Structure formats: structure tokens, C-alpha cells
Amino acid sequence: MMTQFKILVVSVFAIAIAFGSARVDAQKSVKTATVKSVSDVKQTIKKPATVYANKTADLYSKVGGYIKIVNKDIGDSVTTKDTLVELDIPETEQKLLQKKAMIKKAKAELEQAKAALVQSERAVDAAKAGVEEANSLSAQKKAQLKLASTNYDRIAQLVSKGAVNQDRLDTATFEKNSAQAGVDSVKAKVATATAKLASAEAAKAKADADIKSAQANVEVANADFKFAEKMAEYAKIKPPFDGKITKRWFDEGAFVQSADGNSAAKPIFQIVQMSKVRIVFSISSSEIANLNLKDPVVFSGQQGSGVGQISGEVSRFSAGLDTGTRMLRVEMDVDNQDNKLMPGQFGNVTVTLEVLKSALSVPRSAVVDGQVFVIRNGRARAVKVDVAFIDKSNAIIRSGLSAGQQVIVAARSISDGDAVTTK
């Protein structure tokens, strides 16, 4: 009985192995498609797009004031020479008058300093003459003293020899003492004249410094006036570029706050440049690889917008993806001299990313992870291919296959080496 049970188990095990082998070698039924040769194949993408002005600026006032005149309104075309708004700022006019008066005062002080310089120069000349006169007198007195001393010495010798009487010596002594007194007196005059010269030269130096200071004051007064004049010019609001007014926030008589360091200030106008516009759209990260500058773009306006198809090219695109949408911003510049396009309009763009002169086409389901499967000797064999792009129904292949070959479609369940048979 035991022997019969062992034989039964072995038989069942053998049958299981045979059945498993049969399942491993079972052939998968697959469909195939023929590799086709194609030419002038375009990879295009279609995206929603929005029209933006080439330039947009909100115009604020540099100075605060009341709106006196509004010369332009929404929809008007304007140039950089146009005055859009004139502000009434009474204190500005008063500041200009004050700055003009300060210029006159500074110039008057400069003239006074120049006159003081002339006077000090004359005083220096007079002091120099006084010093020269005192020095000349000093030389004269010294010569007289020398003569009196020589005469005194000669008479003293004669008196000692009894040749002349004592009276002559007394007279010589008096003359010598008088000459010495004269020399001493002139020394004081020389010192006084020298001091006057030093004082006059110091006054002249001060006059020179006063002129420089007065000249600087004139320059400061002129600069203050120019600044006040420039601030007065801000009472007239002019556009920074030619364009059209799209928004207006204030009416005549309203008070406008200065925007200088004031975040609460509101703009007066918004102006846009429409002679050229930007058509902006975004593409996904998977479409970036083949995007290049000057790729052809066709913009189509919404139905009823009056805008037909407009052809152009990619003018620029961002250097990185938007962190919120993970999309890449792309722009196309369009000439809009006829103002046919308006900022804010919506439409679609068709971008041609790549044009292949010759390529191969297979059903998109035939491509799995950059490879396709062909049948060789009853088994599926993986073949690496260079995929240019995949559209809704087909995959366009650059290389790796030949026209006329058969590839397995719906190949995601196929592995390399599988036994297959065609349906």
C-alpha cells in the first residue's frame, strides 16, 4: 500500500513539471504593424496663449498736489512729449522764488568778498611801503650813529692830548647819544610797519578764503534752484514711452500723494505700449528638449475676436521652470502697428518644435521605454530606437529600424525572448 502511494505522488509531480514546462513555452499571440517611411514630419504642440503689451507702466506722481488739469483719458494715444496731468503745487512756486533770492544774495556776498580782497591787497601794498620806509629810515639813523661814534672817538683822542677843550667832547657825546636814540626809535617803527604788513597779509588771506566760500555759496544756491526747478517740473506728468492709456484713477481737483518713499500712494494712469506686443504661453517640462529660439509659432485668436492667424517665431523663453506650475514661459514678439491685438486677449498657439526631412513611423503602442520588439525565430527581440517624438497615434523614429520591418504593437506586456505568434 505504501509503495502504491509513493508511485502516485511521483506521477503527480512529474505531471506538474510537464504542465509547467508547457506553460513556460506557451506562445503569446501578438499583433504587428509595418514600419513606415515618412518625410517632412513636424512635431507641433498646441497651447493656450495670452497677449501682453510690450511695455506697461503705472504712472505715479513724484510730488504731492491737487490735479489742476487732466489732458488725456482712457483709450487716448500719447507720446513722451504729451502732458497727461498738471498738478497745482503752490509751495513749489514759492520755493523757486526763495531759491532765486538765495542766488542773488550769494552773488552779492561774492561781490563783497571780491571788494574786500581788493581793499586788503591795497592795505598789503601800503604796509609793504611802510616797511620799506621804516627800513630806509633805520639805515639812515644807523649811518648817523656811525658818523657820530667816529666823531666822538676822534675828539676823545684830541681831548686826551689837550688839543681841544672838554666842551667839544661834550658836544660829540651828545651827538652820539642822539644818534643812538634815533636808531632805537626807528627800530620800533620797523617793528610796527612789519606788524602792519603781517596783519594786512592775514586780511588778504581771509579775503581770499571769503571769496572761495562765497563762490561755493553761489554754486550751492544754483544747485538748490535747479533742484527746486526740477521738482516743479514733476507737477507735469508725462509718459515714459509712446503708447495708449488703459487705466485712470483720479479726476480734476483730487489730491495726489507723492509716491516718493510712500507705499500707500496710488498711480494716476496706466500706459501700455501696443505697437509691439508679446504673446505668452507655457509648455511642460517634457516638451522643452526640442524648443529653440526662432521656432515657428502660429497664433490663432478666439472666435469672434477679429484676429485671424498670426505667424511668428519664439523670441525668448525663461531660464527656468515656474516653481508653482512646473511650466516654462515662452514669448513671441508680434508687430502691432495697426493695434489689431489688445493686451489681455486670449487664443492658442501652435509651435513647430522640429521638422524631420525623413523618418520612420510606428504605432505609439509599439514603443516601450525607448525600444520596440521585432520577431526573430518565433521570439520577441527588443530593439533600441531613437525616438524623435510621440503624437496621439504614432511614434516618429529617427533611427534603429528599417522601413518595411514588422514591430509588435501593444507591446507593454512583452519581454525580450518571449515566444510569440502573430494573430
How many Cβ atoms sit within 10 Å of the Cβ of residue 223?
11
Can you tell me whether residue 163 is helix, strand or coil? coil
Return phi, psi of residue 183, to 5°: -65, -45
What would the grid cell of residue 18 be? 510537464
Return phi, psi of residue 396, to 5°: -100, 125
pLDDT for 25 = 55
Kindly tell me the number of DSSP H helices and DSSP E strands found in the chain.
3, 21
Please check whether residue 347 is in contact with residue 354, taking contact to mean a CB–CB distance below 8 angstroms.
Answer: no
Ranges of CATH 2.40.50.100 domains, the chain: 61-87+235-267
Residue type, 165: N
Split at pLDDT 50, 70, 90, the class of 7 is very low
27: Cβ contacts below 8 Å, ≥ 6 apart: 378, 419, 420, 421
19: Cβ contacts below 8 Å, ≥ 6 apart: none
Cα–chain center distance at 202: 52
- The answer to whether residue 3 scores a pLDDT higher than 70 is no
Burial of 73 (0-12, 13-18, 19+ CB in 10 A): exposed
**Distance of alpha carbon 307 from alpha carbon 343, whole angstroms:** 13
- The answer to whether residue 231 scores a pLDDT higher than 90 is no
The CATH fold of domain 28-43+356-422: 2.40.420
Evaluate whether the domain defined by 90-233 bears CATH number 1.20.120.
no
* Cα–Cα distance list, 171 to 153, 155, 343, 352 (Å): 12, 10, 121, 132
- Which range is most confident: 39-43, 89-93, 173-177, 179-183? 39-43
Here the contacts of 201-210 (C-beta below 8 Å, separation 24 or greater) are: 201/124, 201/127, 203/120, 203/123, 203/124, 204/117, 204/120, 204/121, 204/123, 204/124, 206/120, 207/113, 207/116, 207/117, 207/119, 207/120, 207/121, 208/117, 210/113, 210/116, 210/117
- The answer to whether residue 16 scores a pLDDT higher than 70 is no
Query: What is the widest separation between alpha-carbon atoms in the chain?
Result: 195
Ranges of CATH 1.10.287 domains, the chain: 90-233
Residue type, 328: L
Q: What percent of the chain has pLDDT over 70?
A: 94
For residues 352 and 190, which has the higher predicted lDDT (pLDDT)? 352
pLDDT for 19 = 43
**Distance of alpha carbon 66 from alpha carbon 275, whole angstroms:** 33
Split at pLDDT 50, 70, 90, the class of 13 is very low
DSSP assignment string, 312-333: EE--EE-SS--TTT-EEEEEEE
What average pLDDT score do residues 143-161 get? Answer: 83
pLDDT for 35 = 96
Ranges of CATH 2.40.420.20 domains, the chain: 28-43+356-422
Least confident of 5-9, 68-72, 151-155, 369-373: 5-9
What would the grid cell of residue 10 be? 511521483
Q: Which tens digits make up the pLDDT trace of 370-393?
A: 999 999 999 999 999 999 999 889
Residue type, 315: S
Strands 243-248 and 32-34: unpaired
Burial of 201 (0-12, 13-18, 19+ CB in 10 A): middle
CATH number of 61-87+235-267: 2.40.50.100
> What DSSP state is assigned to residue 371?
E
Is the Cα torsion angle 245, 249, 255, 261 positive or negative in sign? Answer: negative
**Distance of alpha carbon 347 from alpha carbon 339, whole angstroms:** 16
Q: Which tens digits make up the pLDDT trace of 253-298?
A: 999 999 999 999 999 999 999 999 999 999 999 889 889 999 999 9
